[in-house]
């Protein structure tokens, strides 16, 4: 069944990164049909990417009131809550998303960052290990886990993770422009970026990238170009 035209247009704008246009169109769609879960969800995403956190949270919670079993809505609500500084609630939201989709490696990778940012490095390691159990060829998760193992002083294990990450990235066709960084990064307060404690990327941009990385080889190549070419902050 085809989507209503305004909803389809709003989703297209969101997926194309045209977030202001998406908000305008999706608000019109909701004015015609206030109970459209998809419109509420994508409107929440658009507000998130515009850094409009309170409206994003409101729309995602409206979507969840209508569809409480939506794992993506719980996950995105967790992202918003984290960015609002409500870490405990954010972690609970990602726990809900994971409970609904326990075989989705992205759910574990997402929760791994929140655990690390909340001071639970061992919990983050466990989540990355579970993500890799479900998807052994996830180069990004290998890289992230290696960085956490470095932090814990497990240098040999970290090096093995980096080697595996490099092998997988090269399998995707990416040729390094800069040597992979494997030195222990200087201690710093973690940035809101699940990929690497020493790498800065726009908050909303990372989550969008991670979603696309899970399904697109080209996105993985571009993401690895960023990860390996970026200088430590």
Query: pLDDT of 31-53, one tens digit each?
Result: 999 999 999 999 999 999 999 99
Torsion of the alpha carbons at 168, 100, 7 and 14, rounded to the nearest 10: -40
Note whether 197 and 208 are within 8 A (CB): no
Long-range contacts at 14-23 (CB < 8 A, ≥ 24 apart): 14/42, 14/45, 14/46, 14/49, 17/49, 17/208, 19/46, 19/47, 19/49, 19/50, 20/46, 20/50, 22/46, 23/47, 23/50
**What is the model's pTM?**
0.73
- The first and second tokens of residue 134, run together, are 């479900």
Please give the backbone phi and psi of residue 212, each rounded to the nearest 5 degrees, phi first.
-70, -30
Model confidence pLDDT, tens digit, residues 123-165: 999 999 999 999 998 888 898 899 899 999 999 999 999 899 8
- Note the pLDDT of residue 170: 80
How crowded is residue 185: how many other Cβ atoms within 10 Å of its Cβ? 15
- Note the pLDDT of residue 60: 96
- Note the pLDDT of residue 173: 64
Q: Where are the alpha helices (DSSP H) in the chain?
A: 5-15, 19-32, 37-49, 53-66, 71-83, 87-100, 105-117, 121-134, 139-151, 155-171, 203-213, 217-229
């Amino acid at each position: 069944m085809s989507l209503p035209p305004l909803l389809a247009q709003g989703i297209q704008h969101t997926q194309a990164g045209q977030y202001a246009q998406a908000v305008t169109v999706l608000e019109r769609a909701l004015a015609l049909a206030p109970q459209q879960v998809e419109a509420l969800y994508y409107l929440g995403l658009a507000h998130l990417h515009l850094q409009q956190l309170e409206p994003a949270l409101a729309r995602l919670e409206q979507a969840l009131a209508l569809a409480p079993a939506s794992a993506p809505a719980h996950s995105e609500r967790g992202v918003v809550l984290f960015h609002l500084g409500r870490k405990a609630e954010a972690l609970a939201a990602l726990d809900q998303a994971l409970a609904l989709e326990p075989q989705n490696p992205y759910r574990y990778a997402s929760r791994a960052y929140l655990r690390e940012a909340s001071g639970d490095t061992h919990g983050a390691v466990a989540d990355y290990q579970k993500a890799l159990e479900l998807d052994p060829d996830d180069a990004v998760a290998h890289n992230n886990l290696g960085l956490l193992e470095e932090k814990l002083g497990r240098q040999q294990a970290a090096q093995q993770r980096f080697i595996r990450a490099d092998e997988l990235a090269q399998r995707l066709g990416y040729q390094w422009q800069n040597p992979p960084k494997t030195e222990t990064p200087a201690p710093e307060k973690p940035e809101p970026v699940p990929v690497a404690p020493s790498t800065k990327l726009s908050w909303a941009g990372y989550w969008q990238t991670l979603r696309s990385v899970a399904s697109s080889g080209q996105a993985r190549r571009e993401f690895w170009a960023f990860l390996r070419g970026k200088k430590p902050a």
